[in-house]
Amino acid sequence: MFDDLRGFIEKAGALGECQVVEDADWNLEIGTITELMASDPGSPLLLFDKIKGYEPGYRVASNIFTSLRRTALGMGIDLPEDARGVDLVRLYREKIRGGVKLLPPVEVDTGPVKENIVTGEDVDLFKFPTPKWHELDGGRYIGTGGLTITRDPDDGWVNLGAYRVQIHDKSTIAVNVVPGHHCDLMRKKYWAKGQSCPAVVICGQEPILFVAGQFEVPWGVSEYDYAGGLKNKPIVVTRGVTTDLPIPATAEIALEGEILPPEVETRPEGPFGEWPGYYAKGITDQPVMKVKSILYRNNPIIQGCPPFANPATYSVGRHIQVCAAVWDDLDKQIPGVKGVWNFEEGALKSIMVVSLHQMYGGHAKQAGLLVAGSGKAMVTGRWVIVVDDDIDPSNISQVLWALGTRVEPDTGIEIVKGCWGMGSNPALPPERRRRGDFTHSIAIILACRPYEWIKDFPLATRSSPEDIKRTREKWDWLFSGSREK
């Protein structure tokens, strides 16, 4: 496991999966290079240095998790060389089987994040080469791959959540917190008392913290404790200098300050290219955070995980976590589930695929309905595809083959209307968006052989699993990639 972001980057380099890029402009060039590289499956991690107008050593990392191997590394999983996508889901399920044992963080007096400390009038967010990621963005976003730290004023537990952060001026940022998320509930408690909400925005951290910060950890449970459990080693933290909040000791950059009540000050936030690959939300007024101090490492690295049409640019196994959770839910209710997958290419969580060994009439439809009703998966979902157990759900070619050969549209597609949704849905009609109706429909596609006559369904012209295994073992040199005996 890695104790900081730069250790992860070094490992990516040792694997031949890191590309250093020099002399790029923060204004769109970094974002465009990131987007173009991410369109190539398995593209390398990008480390931008000598950025136009900035000192060498002030860096930006992007496309951090655009390969299956780096995603596994970030999640603390040792992935076999020949692993498929669904294998990563299976291994992650094994990692969290029986629940994650919570390990509280360990506090130290100092750490690398305190190598440089600026406060008061010396605070200047433009010291860092924050990109403008997309052409139509409303500004520069320093927070696309970081976490926001807050503490519950009543119970004292600490939350870490992943939210986008826009720079407004040298000491003012806007944190776009999703309504109803833990950070939102916490800050409203402070505001109800007539107080500002102390907060820290970190802009680069060890990957396992990012994994925990994106997951639906229950209310009252700190992501520090959850990440420590995933890592099987406590996260090391150090106290902030102006907020007294615990900050990852190895974080790259930490912005300390207070989120003001909305009646005190708001500023327009956005637009910003969002996770589905569209500008759906537009511009909204957001409470501002006044930055009182900046802590940062020597040669700091901004972690850039901006959304593009390819979710791998901003997700570190988010789809793996969701698939593992859905698979667990299915196993508690029905037998025969052989795999669950989400195709990132379709926008995060929009297309879920379940591989099923059918055992009784209605089994496939039951699986589809259970997934459609899962809040973990389908708050933004459009399609649930159920395939037979001879189909690898993470292999898009096999899934498309099943869709093209095993579905009769008049009997194999069900539409479920009025499902829970979000305002970032780009297909939401304007009139429904205006009245706050974010519900949407989900299609369940039964791309599997009809159970009623499954034994009479034509045999596929494919080698048996036993023959494939035997051939791979005998001709390993041919399939290993070396092409050498």
Cβ neighbors of 138 (< 8 A, separation 6 or more) are 166, 268, 269, 270, 271, 272, 283
Q: Give span(s): CATH 2.30.110.10, the chain.
A: 101-308
* Helix residue spans in 106-238 (DSSP H): 182-192, 207-214, 223-231
Cα 381 to Cα 371: distance, rounded to the nearest angstrom: 10
Burial class (CB in 10 A: 0-12, 13-18, 19+), 178: middle
Which residue, 81, 238, 217, 117, is CA-closest to 159? 217
Percent of the chain with pLDDT over 90: 69
Element at 418 (helix H, strand E): strand 413-419
The SS3 call for residue 209 is helix
Q: Give span(s): CATH 3.40.1670.10, the chain.
A: 318-459
From residue 30, how far is each of 44, 271, 455 by CA, in Å? 14, 18, 55
Cβ neighbors of 273 (< 8 A, separation 6 or more) are 133, 134, 136, 137, 279, 306, 307, 308
Cβ neighbours of 174 (radius 10 Å): 27
Element at 413 (helix H, strand E): strand 413-419
Whether the bond between 131 and the residue before it is cis, its omega within 30 degrees of 0, is no
Terminal Cα-to-Cα distance of the chain (whole angstroms):
34
Cα 15 to Cα 2: distance, rounded to the nearest angstrom: 15
Residue 331 pLDDT = 94
Element at 7 (helix H, strand E): helix 5-14
Cβ neighbors of 128 (< 8 A, separation 6 or more) are 54, 58, 142, 203, 253, 296, 300, 302
Cβ neighbors of 392 (< 8 A, separation 6 or more) are 84, 86, 339, 355, 398
Q: Token pair for residue 96?
A: 């969290």
Element at 259 (helix H, strand E): strand 253-259
Q: What is the pLDDT of residues 434-474, one digit of tens each?
A: 888 888 899 999 999 999 999 999 988 877 888 888 888 88
Cα 159 to Cα 139: distance, rounded to the nearest angstrom: 27
Each residue of 189-206: b (16+ CB within 10 Å) or e?
Answer: ebbeeeebbbbbbbbbbb
Q: Are 248 and 126 in contact (CB under 8 A)?
A: no
The DSSP code for 44 is P
Residue 311 pLDDT = 53
The DSSP code for 339 is E
The DSSP code for 436 is T
Q: What is the pLDDT of residues 212-242, one digit of tens each?
A: 998 889 999 999 999 999 999 999 999 999 9
Q: Are 79 and 72 in contact (CB under 8 A)?
A: yes
Pick the CATH number of 318-459 from 3.30.2350.10, 3.40.1670.10, 3.40.50.740, 3.40.1440.10: 3.40.1670.10
Residue 481 pLDDT = 55
Q: Are 384 and 415 in contact (CB under 8 A)?
A: no
Counting runs of H as helices and runs of E as strands, what totals does the chain give?
15, 22
Q: Are 90 and 337 in contact (CB under 8 A)?
A: no
Q: Lowest-pLDDT range, 167-181, 244-258, 374-388?
A: 374-388
Cα 55 to Cα 127: distance, rounded to the nearest angstrom: 9
Cα 188 to Cα 196: distance, rounded to the nearest angstrom: 9
Which of 294 and 97 is assigned the larger pLDDT? Answer: 294
For the segment 396-404, the average pLDDT, to the nearest whole number, is: 93
Residue 314 pLDDT = 56
Strand partners, 393: none
Residue 313 pLDDT = 56
Confidence of residue 407 (pLDDT cuts 50, 70, 90): very high
pLDDT of 389 higher than 90:
yes
Confidence of residue 483 (pLDDT cuts 50, 70, 90): very low
Cβ neighbors of 167 (< 8 A, separation 6 or more) are 125, 126, 130, 139, 140, 141, 142, 173
Residue 424 identity (one-letter amino acid): S
Strands 440-447, 383-388: pairing kind? parallel
Cα 134 to Cα 308: distance, rounded to the nearest angstrom: 9
Cα 323 to Cα 74: distance, rounded to the nearest angstrom: 17
Each residue of 218-227: b (16+ CB within 10 Å) or e?
Answer: eeebbbbbbb
| CATH code of the domain occupying 101-308 | 2.30.110.10
Residue 321 pLDDT = 85
Cα 198 to Cα 6: distance, rounded to the nearest angstrom: 28
Phi, psi of 102 (to 5 degrees): -75, 135
Confidence of residue 480 (pLDDT cuts 50, 70, 90): low
